[in-house]
Structure 1
């Protein structure tokens, strides 16, 4: 009688903190009570219907985070709605004025989205200092002048958000390089979900995940109902990212948590 050896899957280290970078459980109001019982530590919630903006605010009051150390809450609210180009620009300008991070989704319009975003910082690109120039000017604080997060935290009220998340990113690896160019004065993060990115054309998603720097990648469920299903979706995408990037689960969970804190708060 032959025996079959079963491979035991390593459990996900939920205790290290798993953060959902984008979801919309306000679409299923009855599920909102399940947030307190989820394994996922914190949800970044955005409504898909304009009339649900108040509901997002209400649940942020009940479950919202107190500070960057994750004390006292399970929810970070995100406000906005599907828009034409003019309104999106106005929302980006408002995010810049308030120095709040922004989350956007480009569906089959990645070139147009990049141009719309780039228009908000056009004329304010970062100065790229060559290695030769740095050697000639040893007193030059190259890091301070070229690091987007430092610049946007220091200089307030800009017409662009200090940090940007391209959620359920479905663009190409080549487009990622445009957002990561040293002249771009915004810290851009790229978030991925199993529901959108691995529903089809998984090779494109794999290539994109490989192209994003370690400190700019986020995980999300992009799901409409809080509870066990959302937890399962988060576990699936975290495992997928870790597998593609050859990360251990513990390292991957810690890296994604650190990235989420930097996206939401601007620091770890």
Structure 2
């Protein structure tokens, strides 16, 4: 728990002294435990019920699939009804019963930090021109790789050693095809982590003497403590990678977890371009009077993202209500703005009634309490998020006690800001997580 919130607890103005109701189900909406695969073993002892685990790059897509195969939510499970991660309570004895291991919801996607490693082979003039496979001249492939990175990175790299240290780029179409296969294999999977980042800079290259210092417990491909270079990924290239993944999410009817740093305006514009022409109709007062009471919402969209089964319902009632999700749209049905760091005013555009996607915002201590500026605006932003659209996350690179502690801390803080007691807040956020994943 951070010092600020310990101080609040000591002056008696918060619920920090109350026991945390793990038995109601706590959900981590965004985390990266496959960056430290050894931490996956802790799923058997966690109090949290479900973790939404994110892929980011080439090295972790198959790891997400592996963990989801072993620990994923099955078709018969629902997040709120699944008694896992913490013990349910027998009302008669108040004793914990039936504890199961924490489950995971997988997410497959390519993070903007690694977007330079893809090239858009569907573009009229691709940045990478693959050499003829019959040409055994390795210099041609190296020249093509360097040409790609000189286009997508800014400023244009000139150091031969830095350019040669970068991997050959992967075709965007190939990545989208493999991601589609993962989504088909895991019916509850999300698309993530995807997005835009103006602030990110590539890490410097590995040097020969660095090999002995590498942590073998970390999944390769990350920064791993390297200093940052001066090179950034061109925003236009990031947008192309993001838009391809948004189209895939729309095509498959999957929710997305979206990263946005120093790019809140361009992120909204990029995503809004996907739903252009599909906006919800905003009825005038005269139009509302002309339709039957209660029909306003159904009149705003002919097949919106509210279709589907409420996972709290079971049996024949649930089956009779179940509808097939609307597929084939050019935009995702549900969007989570992960660790949202923009202002409350910027948030208003996302929740405009014309937006056809259902928008959620999640918060983490790692990002939202990581700077003085983030702490200063968090309360206003949390208050601006509708009660039924707020989520909580750890955004840490391992599972275990530390991730669970920061998850609990943010749960408590959101409840404090919203004026909820812990049981009300945990229950509300649990329902929101279910709605985000299942629709």
Q: Same fold (TM over 0.5)?
A: yes
Q: Is the 8 A contact 2:26 2:426 kept in 1?
A: yes
Equivalent residue for 1:108, pick from 262, 281, 286: 262
Match of 1:39 in 2: 47
Q: Relative to total residues, which structure has the larger helix share, 1 or 2?
A: 1
Match for residue 236 of structure 1 among 383, 396, 409: 409
Residue in 2 aligned with 1:149?
Answer: 305
Could you say what secondary structure the match of 1:150 adopts? Answer: coil
Distance 1:33 1:154, change over 3 A: closer
* Contact 2:257–2:335 (CA under 8 A) maintained in structure 1: yes
> Within 2, Cα distance between the matches of 1:154 and 1:142?
21
Of structures 1 and 2, the one with the larger relative CO (CA 8 A, separation 6+) is: 1
Q: What do the CA deviations read for 1:204-239 (whole angstroms, capped 9, x no partner)?
A: 111110100000000000001111111101100000
144 and 151 in structure 1: CA distance in 2 versus 1, 3 angstrom threshold: farther
TM alignment of 1:190-229, pairs within 5 A: 190-200=361-371, 201=373, 202-229=375-402
1:64 is the counterpart of 2:93: no
Bigger Cα displacement from structure 2, 132-141 vs 82-91? 132-141
Q: Quote the residue 2:253 is aligned against.
A: 99
- CA RMSD in angstroms, aligned pairs only: 2.0
Distance in 1 of aligned mates of 2:421 and 2:11: 20
Structure 2, gaps ≥5 residues long: 1-9, 85-101, 113-237, 309-323
Query: How big is the shift at 1:47?
Result: 2.6
Match of 1:167 in 2: 338
TM-score by length of 2: 0.57
Find out whether 1:259 has 2:415 as its counterpart: no
- The structural deviation recorded for 1:154 is 5.6
Segments of 5+ residues of structure 1 without an aligned counterpart are: none
Report the counterpart of residue 312 of structure 2 in structure 1.
none
Q: Which stretch shifts more, 245-254 or 203-212?
A: 203-212
1:130 is the counterpart of 2:287: no
State the 1:140 CA deviation: 8.2
Count of aligned positions: 262
- Partner Cα distance (1:212, 1:29) in 2: 34
State the distance in 2 between where 1:139 and 1:194 align.
43
| In 2: Cα distance, 1:155 partner to 1:34 partner | 37
**Following superposition, which runs of at least 4 residues in structure 1 exceed 4 angstroms of deviation?**
5-8, 151-154
1:139 and 1:240 map into 2 onto residues whose CA distance is 38
Q: More deviation in 254-263 or 132-141?
A: 132-141
Residue 6 of structure 1: how far off its partner (Å) = 10
Q: Counterpart of 1:18?
A: 26
Considering only CA atoms, is the larger Rg found in Structure 1 or Structure 2?
2
SS at 1:145 equivalent? helix
